[in-house]
Amino acid sequence: MLKGSVVAIVTPMRSSDSSVDFDSLANLIDWHIAEGTNGIVIVGTTGESPAVSFNEHCDLIKFTVEKVQKRIPVIAGTGANSTQEAIDLSVYAKEIGADFGLSVVPYYNKPTQEGLYRHFSTIAETVDFPQILYNVPGRTVADISNETVIRLSVLENIIGLKDATADLERVAALIGRVERDFAIYSGDDGSALGLMMLGGHGVISVTANIVPNLVSKICDCVINKADFLAARNYNQNLVSLNKALFLESNPIPVKWALAKMGKIPTGIRLPLTQMSNELEGILATAMQEAGISVED
């Protein structure tokens, strides 16, 4: 079972035309592995999956798998609001050598709980490839219930859940009811420590994009060492940063932060835009509080 800090990595794009910058992505991957990141999600929400073409989506998965070379697990974003497209992405991710798929709750078409069950179970039954469910109702509108997750958790190819609700009471209830080895990851950096202390297995993190070593230390302290005091102390450095990274729609702030760190160009794809000037100072201050130097 994958445990610890999993970065929901950005897709670097060139400043001139917003084309994918694979050289910067390669450098980010090597940096994350050196900093102790336990896994990489490629082409998730933070990777601007709605804004890349199907071919680009596949190219990003392939590039990441080949660059990582099995040093850490690669989790491919394979979700879609079309069940068939999610199957197609899952088939490709398996063929190219990704370790897991991350399959988001279908967005916009607002399926019922039965529709959600049939969507995910159809993928699992069609493609022999381990899938992590991804519930982020703030983005998708639809919200997969604990009851539906429990129904799906008995399927062999559905091995975990990324929960971005920040509802720890709900997560605690789920952890107490799943009967098999089923991974639960936080999808919300602000409540990730609490979720892991309840028995969660790690975080799929936006914040880890810019402080990978610190997020990895927090996870290690909770999951492997049961040193909750050290984890809390590390986490305290990130309270302002976790909040500031969502001053505008993700990944606008985190891409701004990485550009200021000199890690990526400033490119981002419409309909997302560059970060508002009036919010830059708040994020820069939060970065400095977390020990990150910011270029002028």
Please give the positions annotated as active site.
134, 162
C-alpha distances (whole Å) from 126 to each of 54, 255, 280 are 20, 36, 46
For residue 126, what are the contacts with CB-CB under 8 A and spacing of at least 6? 87, 90
Asked if residue 235 lies in contact with residue 193, where contact means CB atoms within 8 angstroms, the answer is yes
Cα–Cα distance, 213 to 217 (Å, whole number): 6
Torsion over CA of 227, 229, 232 and 234, rounded to 10 degrees? Answer: -80
Cα–Cα distance, 146 to 152 (Å, whole number): 10
For residue 87, what are the contacts with CB-CB under 8 A and spacing of at least 6? 122, 123, 126, 127
H helical segments located in the chain:
22-35, 54-68, 83-96, 113-126, 137-140, 146-153, 168-175, 192-197, 212-223, 228-236, 239-244, 252-260, 277-289
